A and B are shown apart, each in its own frame.
Chain A
């Protein structure tokens, strides 16, 4: 039975259509795995009743013969997505007890396509973090370990629960969100595929907002093909999100020919960081060789403002967060502090937010408040927005020379130990996003593909960055890389 939870979306789809297996059987297999995997801290709210009811409905639809590709596929949903009647608290104490009366557009699209919800997945609080250690639920744990060493490792963040759940075969795939790397970094840390689509491809409606000009939902899957299938169901124009693009959706799976002959793949010289581990450097080099062997042309390129992406991001994202998170005031939903005699409304706000927000969220809200405050707005916020313009122009210039995709490492290291960064200053943790954050600032699609193991046996990923609105071509390039890399390793089960 447990083998069924290991299926890919495409294999499950084909097997269900052929009548070899039912969604109910796959769903039950996943629920069994989830029950036995509390040590991973991945699923934080389990919804077996919903799952079984949706699986039954999906089986009827498949039997009727016109089911979409995602029909009957059991998924985990990141806690950042509002799901009707099911706790949705962005891993924050301040949303304790919140049960939305509405469904996010992305999750609704998945249910309309027949997908099955197994439960909600752990994450960093309000998606602010790179290790899932800021969660009010406690840590999510990476199913991978360094050889025989039983040190608990981070699955990355912020979509750490999604990464852990997919890598441990608790579900067939999961939703993630990515503001500065929160899909791609965790995907790389656990050896799965993670796609951040072009900004505007997936609706942000009903997704708890972190930094609205950067946030984007995307699939976290076992294969590139699965990412294509799942994106098809998640994406599309939504009148409820004013930045959602009214553009036709290409057939993403049909784009997967594996033929990348003649494509120009850029290697940005600024991504060669000082102190980058040799293993990452050689994996990157091997990736370029693989693409060359597949018939692509490898071109050295320059993205001159790369070094300023992280500082620009850490002005813009907290600024937007401080504004978005102003809504958590203890009035309309979630936690409200117990007040002392004589406390007025300001004390209510201040106590509620001090109790409800964790340390990292408080820090970012205050940084955002500072850079937006009178006298500093131009020096920090406006300057960062101008630098963002230059970062996007770097990419525009490169694509204008005919580059089809850009190949970079996904992360500056393999997964690190939980707690290992506790003594580091906040900026050290921010460096996790160094290869991914440029993509959010420029609104581009990016995908992390597992490409190898480091010397301690941990997965490492490569990132491909595509042209805007060309996820189809990007997925095909990723498919060629996946095929060439032939990554098939799985974590050894200890949980």
Chain B
């Protein structure tokens, strides 16, 4: 499977990474190389094989659905690039 420039542009957008138009051909080439490498997996007979969901045979732990933590607004905002009046601030979103 080879990735063309349009696909590379689409994947970059899905990943929310801006890529300069001039860099798209090189990116498409690198992604194609990696995908070609992955294509070896097509040789494997996977009929009737379950996809792995957990490497150890364990049931995911559960706990009471209750609040266990909180009241630390300052700590949560302390690393924000832009925090104002107790909120994370982002550019205006108009839908």
Contact = CB atoms under 8 A, between A and B. Distances in A.
B86 interface: no
A386 B49 contact: yes
Interface in A299-348: 305, 307-308, 310-312, 314-315, 322, 326, 329-336, 339, 343-348
A390 B44 contact: yes
B38 A389 contact: no
Interface residues of B, number: 53
Given A308-B41, A343-B91, A334 B31 contact: no
B75 A380 contact: no
Given A350-B18, A367-B31, A380-B38, A98 B79 contact: yes
Nearest to A307: B40
Does more than half of chain B's interface fall in helix, strand or loop, or is it mixed? loop
Interface stretch (A224-232, A268-276, A358-366, A484-492): A358-366
A345 B93 contact: yes
Contacts of A97: 79
Interface string B4-46: 0001100111111111000000010011011101111111101
Nearest to B12: A366
B88 A332 contact: yes
B42 to A, nearest CB: 8
A388 B11 contact: no
A385 B41 CA distance: 11
B82 interface: yes
A345 B91 CA distance: 6
Contacts of B88: 331-332
A385 to B, nearest CB: 4
B91 A335 contact: no
Does more than half of chain A's interface fall in helix, strand or loop, or is it mixed? helix
B90 A348 contact: yes
A199 B56 contact: yes
B79 to A, nearest CB: 4
A354 B19 contact: yes
A386 B42 CA distance: 11
Given A97-B79, A386-B49, A427-B34, A443 B56 contact: yes
A443 B40 contact: no
Contacts of A100: 79
A366 B44 CA distance: 25
A383 B38 CA distance: 10
A392 B55 CA distance: 8
A347 B53 CA distance: 35
A2 interface: no
A357 B46 contact: no
B67 interface: no
A369 interface: yes
Contacts of B27: 363, 366
A389 B44 contact: no
A384 B41 contact: yes
Contacts of B84: none
B78 interface: yes
Interface of B: 3, 7-8, 11-19, 27, 30-31, 33-35, 37-44, 46, 49-56, 58, 60-61, 63, 72, 75-76, 78-82, 88, 90-94
